[in-house]
Amino acid sequence: MKYIYMLLILTLVGCNADDELTALTATASEDKVWVFAQFNVQEETDGTESYYYYAMISAQTYKLISNNKLKQGFILLENVKYWGANDLIYDYRDEENSGELVFRIEDIVKLDLVNQAPIVGKGVEQYDSEQSKEEEVSATQQAQDNESEQVTSRPKRTLKSGL
């Protein structure tokens, strides 16, 4: 159903039908990736509103946008999450919203690939702790490697007889 709406919008707006069709077919791809996206959307008044979301998008859409091969059309954000009160992550999905949003690709300011899904109810520490864990594991591994090098590179001691 969501693709029918996007096709309808495509036919009504269709300035650059090639890009619009590419965006539509890329969005239909089943392979998804997590991204952090910033959109600057021109408001009806003179201002611009910025939006920041974590979401899943089509891997094909991400690849086309990141390679600068797709510059116009619509992007479907699924399983949308956002930073809210107390610097915690919240689900966009609720009684009113489905958890999906559609934006114009032209409004993207930043699109970063995220290695893991954001956890609702947690803040930035979920990423800090992962980095800290990785650094701790790396430091431990390096210490073990250094220790084993020291053990294997110690000069052999010989006992001198001749007391």
- For residue 24, the model assigns a pLDDT of 54
- Report yes or no on 91 lying in a domain: yes
Nearest Cα neighbor of 105 from 44, 38, 56, 46 is 38
Residue 19 within any structural domain of the chain: yes
Distance (Å, whole) CA 107 – CA 103: 7
Q: State if pTM tops 0.95.
A: no
Per-10-residue mean pLDDT, the chain, length 163: 55 55 60 95 89 94 92 92 91 92 95 93 79 53 52 40 45
- Is 163 a domain residue? no
Residue 87 domain boundaries:
2-113
Domain count, the chain: 1
Is 13 part of any domain?
A: yes
In a domain, 104, yes or no: yes
pLDDT of residue 68: 92
